[in-house]
Structure 1
Amino acid sequence: MISIADVERAATRIRGRVRRTPVFAADDGVWFKLEQLQHTGSFKARGAFNRIIAAGDAAAAGVVAASGGNAGLAVAYAARESGIAARVYVPATAPAVKVAKLRTLGASVELVGEKYADAYEAAAKHAADSGALFCHAYDQPEVCAGQGTVGLELLAQAEPDTILVAVGGGGLLAGIAAAVEGRARVVGVEPHTAPTLHAALAAGEPVPVEVSGVAADALGASRIGDIAFAVATRTGAGSVLVDDAQIEQARAVLWDRYRLAVEPGGATAFAALLGGAYRPAAGERVAVVLCGANTDPATLTSPTAAPPAARTPRGRLR
């Protein structure tokens, strides 16, 4: 469990290490938080730095992570900037663009199995055998608190009523929900093919789910994190589901209309707004977190159909 105090401490620790990403006023009452502009192309640098800095001397033996891509990139970057070694275990299905970036950042990369769970088991064993600091992709207090600094920035930048957040393992949702508790509502957005939070809320506890779909490389956890479930339950965070076609459409619209390049996981929260899974009330201020940009630019295309209820963009940064 984490609280706003944990997030505020994380903000102090990582200040100067991460970017305070801008928000973009896209349409009336809709703001994009451009976290795809963060170091290594996703919000995860925040949690990685907070985990490593908070560990102090315990990180001297290096760090190890299991990741389909973005968490590993963040750990590799934070380790390099902190002057320590990093080893990252990834499933063989991880996108080549992310694996190449891991190596560019100086991490030792190990391809293990076909699923995140395989990479996780290998990383945990290496941590136990070597004494390296294990950096979880989403279910450690320091990691969640670091991700929550996105929420603190949003409160100051856009004063949203509601924040839409993509959910895989739930670290970003946990951190943001803790950061804005009592001041804004948080809604998790998940693919129908990877409904970790949705299934947990229905069951009353975290449960395993089958994972597939276009965003599985980033939102591929098969179970919501314990911290995310506890925070979601405490704060009343909800969940809505979108399908792969809506995610692809959202990604295409972000590129075609705003020239914002994001990966499928990064477009998932916007898919809820664009496709109608989440419908704002009149006058409601909605912030959409665009959480990742690690994608092949060649796959960016114009939308095949006009999005519903499109409005004229205002296009203003803050």
Structure 2
Amino acid sequence: MSLSIKTPLLESTPLSWINGTKVWLKVEAMQPSGSFKIRGIGHACEHHVSRGAKRFISSSGGNAGLAVAYAGRRLDVPVVVIVPETTSERARHLLGQEGAEVIVHGKSWFEANELALSLKTSDDAYLHPFDDPLLWYGHASMIDEVVTDGLCPDAVIVSVGGGGLLAGVAEGMQRNGLNDVPIYAAETEGMASLNASIKAGRLVQLPKLSGVATSLGAPQVCQRAFELARERPVVPMQVTDREAVEACLAYLDDHRTLVEPACGASLALLYGRKLSLSKLDNVLVIVCGGSTATVESLTRYIA
């Protein structure tokens, strides 16, 4: 049995009314680990177990780490997650709840990741948060489900951090004959590594990251995400932190589901009417979720 679930595909009356077209929600926030990450990470973990892995190692205190911890518990495989000092107490608690061993190390993800890689033995599988074809293959299943449910979107909206979701969605669209359909790639202004690379015409690393959407905090997108922006229609978009948070709160009121600011970046394009969509028939937005979001953290930001 798959570690991820088939998530709802719902038409959003409020967002459809705001944008003058049918807006469809792929509600990945309903995944058992709290985000879309379990699709790709679950697939990767099952792959590694079939090849003899005895332990999983991850370097994410957010959605990816929680997906690894959940997969490990379900597969009865020990999990070690190395997180930087900036990781919230809530994230550490959730990782522990899933049975993972949590090691706090370094001031950034890069430092935590260096320790994770140094701990890996021949019996271990290392799970990268976003840069792995196994993950993209698993994430692509959400588009398979959308098409199976009878929807062929005219545009797709995703949030972009490291680019794993973008790569997976694009792979799913390609194998379902949707390669010409544009993908709107949403980032917050302080985390816009894809936008910077597209403008530069090459992969670039942001000198620093800032903002509330910490799940988008990759200083450089993966190579595959950058390549996709050259191979198919990918439109980079940016929103402010406040717009992302306000979109999360509006989404909570409208759809009774809590998501994090990284997901709010996509939703803000719709709540803020930042795209010309009225001539399209069906627009799909990936509601990617957010394992550690709380109402208190969102309302504190805009207070």
Aligned-pair CA distance for 1:57:
4.5
Structure 2 unpaired stretches of 5+ = 17-21
2:177 aligned with 1:206, yes or no? no
In structure 2, the residue matched to 1:34 is 27
Which residue among 132, 137, 144 is the counterpart of 1:140?
Answer: 132
Which residue among 183, 188, 192 is the counterpart of 1:186?
Answer: 183
Aligned-pair CA distance for 1:130:
5.8
Structure 1 unpaired stretches of 5+ = 1-14, 305-318
Which residue among 222, 229, 242 is the counterpart of 2:239?
Answer: 242
Give the letter for the 1:103 counterpart. G
In structure 2, the residue matched to 1:256 is 253
Give the letter for the 1:187 counterpart. Y
Secondary structure at the aligned position of 1:289 is classed as strand
**TM-score, normalization: structure 2?**
0.89
Q: Distance in 2 between matches of 1:289 and 1:92?
A: 30
Alignment of 1:293-312 (within 5 A): 293-294=290-291, 295-299=293-297, 301=299
Which residue among 98, 113, 122 is the counterpart of 1:120?
Answer: 113
Aligned-pair CA distance for 1:256:
1.9
In structure 2, the residue matched to 1:307 is none
Alignment of 1:221-236 (within 5 A): 221-236=218-233
**TM-score, normalization: structure 1?**
0.85
In structure 2, the residue matched to 1:275 is 272
Structure 1 contact 36–266 (Cα < 8 Å) conserved: no
Structure 1 contact 242–277 (Cα < 8 Å) conserved: no
Alignment of 1:92-103 (within 5 A): 92-103=85-96
Give the letter for the 1:154 counterpart. V
In structure 2, the residue matched to 1:81 is 74
Aligned-pair CA distance for 1:54:
2.0
Aligned-pair CA distance for 1:170:
0.6
Structure 1 contact 256–301 (Cα < 8 Å) conserved: no
Q: Distance in 2 between matches of 1:173 and 1:124?
A: 25
Which residue among 149, 154, 163 is the counterpart of 2:141?
Answer: 149
Give the letter for the 1:173 counterpart. L
Aligned-pair CA distance for 1:117:
1.1
In structure 2, the residue matched to 1:62 is 55
